[in-house]
Structure 1
């Protein structure tokens, strides 16, 4: 089976976003081990932050992956997939970093959520365009 360039582009960004989820998950495990918390957050602020950073990523990354996959399925150009993938990836890295290092508002968190939302708008518009083109 021949795989087109769009699928390769989507695979790149889906793979990178899987590693974002993995790193954020490992940060939760590290905090659980450090504070000896097996279940829940134990009221430990650092663990609460790590759990939220991972949880937030699990709320946003799957939709981004679905958008990337569907862009590849409809044969969107690689550039559209790379733009979407880059925005999702950088947005999630920034947001995860910001939330992992600060419980309050921060520039990385703000930029991260903005980039993620921009990726959703861009991908949504592209999917609507390619669904009727």
Structure 2
């Protein structure tokens, strides 16, 4: 079975990843920063937004694909996929505006953790109830 829901969700996340990467590249070029952040606070923030996305999204997409391949209900997959995308947009906007507290950063982080937890629990349930009985 082809993981079609994950394909769409992953594709949308890749588009967001490219936007975040371009923000780093364009600022790096405009500020003439070759490697690292060059002590530039705006560059450091953009690098961190991009890095945070790269830290959380691959594992989440892997879990989504595994759940889809294990025939979890489509409603769960759509809910997790859309919630993850919303979470990552909220986090990127929130953290991208300020390194301190923001609603977007808080809500994005919380929602990301909730999606990861929900997918982990769904995976454990699938394994324990469906595959071991």
TM-score using structure 1 length:
0.92
Structure 1 Cα separation of the partners of residues 30 and 93 of structure 2:
19
Stretches of structure 2 that go unaligned for 5 or more consecutive residues are: none
CA RMSD of aligned residues (A): 1.1
Runs (5+) with no aligned partner, structure 1: none
Q: Which moved more, 1:53-62 or 1:81-90?
A: 81-90
SS at match of 1:46: helix
Moved over 4 A (4+): none
State the TM-score, normalizing by the size of structure 2: 0.92
Alignment partners' CA distance in 2, 1:17 and 1:131: 27
| Number of the residue aligned with 1:98 | 94
Aligned to 1:58: 54
**Structure 1 residue 131 displacement after superposition:** 1.6
**Partner of residue 77 from structure 1, selected from 69, 73, 79:** 73
**Counterpart of 2:103?**
107
How many aligned residue pairs are there? 129
